[in-house]
Every structure is written in C-alpha cells, then in structure tokens.
C-alpha cells in the first residue's frame, strides 16, 4: 500500500515553488467548455483532482490536449452529452461546477450529486437556489441533479451562507443568461476572483468579484482565451506552517503575498519572522512557537483549509491555544491521529482546546482528508523518529509532488509501496 515514510527532526530550509491554485483550476476547467472555441490554460496543478475533472470533460466529448505538465488546451465545441454520472464523478466535490457550466451553455445539465465527506455534510442547496432563481427547474432523482431551463433570465440572488461553490456556480449560469444577475453575500476568495477574471477573458461581463456583491450581465456566447491560474494560497500556507513547525527557514516562491495575509498574521503572532517580497514570502522560525487563538472564516478570514495545519503547529506551542472551526462541522477528525504522536487536544463542539507539548514522537498515522493529511505529514516532519502516513491518495488530490518538494527543503520523506521499500527507507535514514 502506498504511504509516506518520514523521519522527522530536520528543520526545513530553502526555497519552494508553489503551483497553480487547485480550487481555481477545479472551477476553471469546467468553465472552459462553456465556449465552442479553444481555451488555453496555464499554471494548472498536476494533482489527481484536476486530472479526474479532465477525464470527466473528455467523457462528455470535450477535446483535451495536454500541452505540457501544467498547460492544457480544451475545446468544448463537440460536447455530446450533458450527463455526468460515472461513479468517480460523485467523489470529486467540484464536479458540481459542471451543473452551472452545462446549464449556462446548453440550458440542461445532469450531474451525479457530490457525496458527503469526512469534514461534514456539504449541501449544495444554495447552488440549486441560484439556478432556480435564474429560471431553471431543478430536481434530484436517483442520485442525479437534473437542471433544465427553456431560457435563463438574470435575477437578484442572496446567499444565506457565504459559499465559494455557489458563488462560482451561479456566476457560470448567469454569464450566459439574459440580462443582469446580482449575487449578494458572495464569497470573496481569491479563486472566486480568478474564475471571474477567466470568464471575463472569454467575453463574460462580471463585475465586483472579490467584494460581497457580484454583478453579472449575461452575454450570448463566450469565446476562446489564454489564461494562467493564480498560485495556490493553501499549498503556500502549508509550506509556511511546515517551516514554522520544524523551526526552519523557507521561502515560498510564486505566490501573491496579499492572499496569504491571514496566514502571515498568525505566524507572526506565533513568534515567526515573515518577510514578504513581490511574489515570495519567507518564514523563519528559530524558537518554540507561541500559542494563539484562531477562528476559521470566509476570506479574508483565516481559511478553513489551513485549520489542520495551524492546529498541528499550535499543538507544539508553549501554552494553550483555541482553534474554532466555523465553516465545516466535522473538521477535527485528524486529532485522534495526532494524539498517537503525543499531542494534547480536546475537541468541544466546534473548538479544539490545545495544550502545547514540547515534542511529537513518530507514529503510524492515517490521513482522513486532504488538508488534515498534509498537516499530519507536517507533524511527522517535526516528530522525533520514524513515522508513516497512510491513505496518501487524499494528499495527492491537492498537493503536486509533495514529497519531492519537502525533500528539496531537507525533509527525510519518501513515498513507499512495499514493506521492502519501507525497510530500505529506514536503513537509508538510519
């Protein structure tokens, strides 16, 4: 079974290049088929989630041409099917973006309902509310969401909860609706802005992305475009916290420092030095981390996708911290795994009360989901001795070349498949 083998204790030192934003790519890829012209996308992360979406696009008739590892040409002129029902589709949550993209372009979409996931129930009622407001009839039958409209007409939509997915999905359908749509209480995440910029580069008319009111004037059709995806703020933040927890000195390159402000602010509170330049951030940690409190919030608040990483770091700080998760209901499952390494964390409701310990000890742990998986790897890198992390398929959904990037910073980590590989790794690292 594939797993990461890790020998902890080395401070991470050096420079690491950050890839394109996974969550932007997961929306931009389905949006690319909204045009009949060819769309060229650069800075696409090569992770399993984006590869599954590309496969899904091909399955409905899109032509996908890999130009190189991070660039792809997509042509959606010959989409033959508006039904995506393969089993693998419901496992990729972002498959919901095909609903807005296909409904906008073809006024009909049938997509397998994305399943729940370990971080809690993840409804898509707001997406559907938005489609209905634009005039679509939406029903759920046999595990499929079926949306149909004779025509889509712009509307005023208020989102009860700030939702990244609903904001983007409604933007897709509204971009090709008749007239004006206003989305109020919209999500402001950098990738919402990136997706709006991408659609605008294809001829859409979207204003206000990045604020809580997004205004879309529908256009008749979208044309081809060349577009580079923004850097991944969560990948960057993960390496920044990896530097902090290992008392290292890491420069994350190819980032937009503004997108990392909440992460940077917390690292400074925790006693790290953070230096920003135009497109890089350097994190230096040379003493034990200080405790702090944090609550996850929609952007520009502290991201829920960084919650496990900060928790794992605070669990080695000198004192007590409280981490409150306000976006997802069940995002502390990894705490039981971390306890195997000696952490002292008590979860009460949606808060984790953390008593910092001086050291972690290596253990065999299992990744429960993508971000928690990455956080457990960070803990293993800081731990004394040898660890393994299982279920790395979750980590590979969102981190490209994670072991190689960590190795380049001096980490002792390898992906191993067999017991023999594991023994070899142990012999190598001593």
Q: Site residues (CB under 6 A) for ligand UD1?
A: 23, 26, 93-94, 122-127, 161, 163-166, 187, 303-305, 327-328
Residue 84 structure tokens: 């995506």
Cβ-contact 73, 39 below 8 angstroms: yes
In the block, which residue shows the tokens 């939702």?
A: 163
Q: Give 20-74 as a DSSP string.
A: B-HHHHHHHHHHHTTSSSEEEEES----HHHHHHHHHHHHTT-EEEEEETTEEEE
Strands, E assignment, 198-319: 205-207, 213-217, 225-228, 249-253, 273-276, 280-284, 293-295
C-beta closer to ligand UD1: residue 94 or 138:
94
Rounded-to-integer distance, Cα 152 and Cα 179, Å = 9
Cβ-contact 105, 57 below 8 angstroms: no
The H-assigned helical ranges of 60-140 are: 87-91, 97-106, 125-133
Rounded-to-integer distance, Cα 4 and Cα 269, Å = 31
Cβ-contact 37, 204 below 8 angstroms: no
C-beta closer to ligand UD1: residue 104 or 308:
308
CA trace torsion 399, 404, 406, 412 (10° rounding): 130
C-beta closer to ligand UD1: residue 23 or 388:
23
Residue 183 structure tokens: 């989305």
Q: How near is the Cβ of 63 to ligand UD1 at its closest, in Å?
A: 24
Q: How near is the Cβ of 420 to ligand UD1 at its closest, in Å?
A: 36
Report the run of H or E that residue 407 belongs to, with start and end.
Answer: helix 402-408
C-beta closer to ligand UD1: residue 56 or 272:
56
* SS3 assignment, position 256: coil
Q: How near is the Cβ of 369 to ligand UD1 at its closest, in Å?
A: 10
C-beta closer to ligand UD1: residue 2 or 160:
160
In the block, which residue shows the tokens 């590892």?
A: 69
371-272-293 Cα angle (round to 5): 60
Q: 117 an active-site residue?
A: yes
Residue 278 structure tokens: 């135009």
Rounded-to-integer distance, Cα 14 and Cα 251, Å = 6
Q: How near is the Cβ of 310 to ligand UD1 at its closest, in Å?
A: 14
C-beta closer to ligand UD1: residue 131 or 386:
131
- The bridge status of strand 38-42 relative to strand 63-68 is unpaired
| Catalytic entry in 117, 272, 290, 380 | 117
Q: How near is the Cβ of 240 to ligand UD1 at its closest, in Å?
A: 18
Rounded-to-integer distance, Cα 295 and Cα 301, Å = 8
C-beta closer to ligand UD1: residue 161 or 277:
161
| Cα–Cα nearest to 343, from 305, 309, 313 | 313
Q: How near is the Cβ of 14 to ligand UD1 at its closest, in Å?
A: 27
Which positions are catalytic? 117
């Amino acid at each position: 079974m594939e797993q990461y083998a890790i020998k902890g204790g080395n401070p991470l030192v050096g420079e690491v290049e950050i890839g394109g934003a996974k969550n932007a790519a997961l929306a931009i890829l389905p949006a690319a088929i909204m045009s009949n012209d060819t769309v060229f996308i650069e800075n696409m992360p090569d992770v399993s989630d984006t590869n599954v979406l590309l496969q899904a696009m091909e399955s409905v008739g899109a032509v996908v041409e890999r130009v190189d590892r991070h660039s792809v040409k997509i042509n959606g002129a010959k989409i033959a099917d508006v039904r995506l029902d393969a089993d693998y589709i419901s496992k990729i949550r972002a498959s919901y973006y095909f609903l807005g993209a296909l409904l906008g372009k073809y006024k009909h979409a049938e997509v397998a309902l994305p399943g729940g996931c370990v971080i809690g129930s993840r409804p898509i009622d707001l997406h559907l509310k938005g489609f209905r407001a634009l005039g679509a009839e939406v029903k759920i039958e046999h595990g499929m969401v079926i949306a149909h409209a004779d025509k889509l007409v712009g509307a005023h939509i208020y989102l009860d909860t700030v939702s990244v997915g609903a904001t983007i999905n409604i933007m897709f359908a509204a971009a090709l609706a008749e007239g004006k749509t206003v989305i109020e209480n919209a999500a402001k995440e950098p990738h919402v802005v990136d997706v709006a910029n991408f659609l605008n580069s294809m001829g859409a008319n979207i204003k206000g992305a990045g604020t809580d009111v997004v205004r879309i004037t529908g256009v008749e059709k979208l044309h081809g475009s060349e577009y580079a995806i923004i850097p991944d703020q969560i990948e960057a933040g993960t390496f920044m916290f990896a530097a902090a927890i290992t008392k290292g000195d890491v420069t994350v390159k190819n980032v937009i420092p503004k997108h990392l402000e909440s992460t940077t602010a917390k690292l400074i509170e925790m006693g790290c030095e953070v230096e920003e330049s135009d497109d890089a951030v350097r994190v230096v940690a040379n003493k034990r981390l200080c405790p702090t409190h944090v609550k996850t919030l929609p952007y520009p608040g502290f991201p829920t996708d960084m919650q496990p990483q900060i928790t794992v770091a605070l669990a080695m700080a000198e004192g007590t911290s409280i981490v409150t998760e306000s976006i997802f209901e069940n995002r502390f499952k990894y705490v039981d795994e971390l306890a195997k390494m000696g952490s002292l964390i008590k979860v009460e409701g949606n808060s984790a009360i953390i008593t910092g310990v001086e050291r972690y000890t290596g253990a065999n742990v299992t990744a429960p989901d993508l971000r928690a998986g990455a956080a457990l790897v960070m803990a293993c890198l800081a731990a004394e001795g040898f660890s393994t992390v299982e279920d790395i398929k979750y980590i590979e959904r969102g981190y490209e070349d994670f072991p190689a990037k960590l190795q380049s910073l001096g980490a002792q980590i390898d992906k191993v498949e067999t017991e023999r590989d594991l023994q070899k790794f142990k012999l190598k690292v001593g």
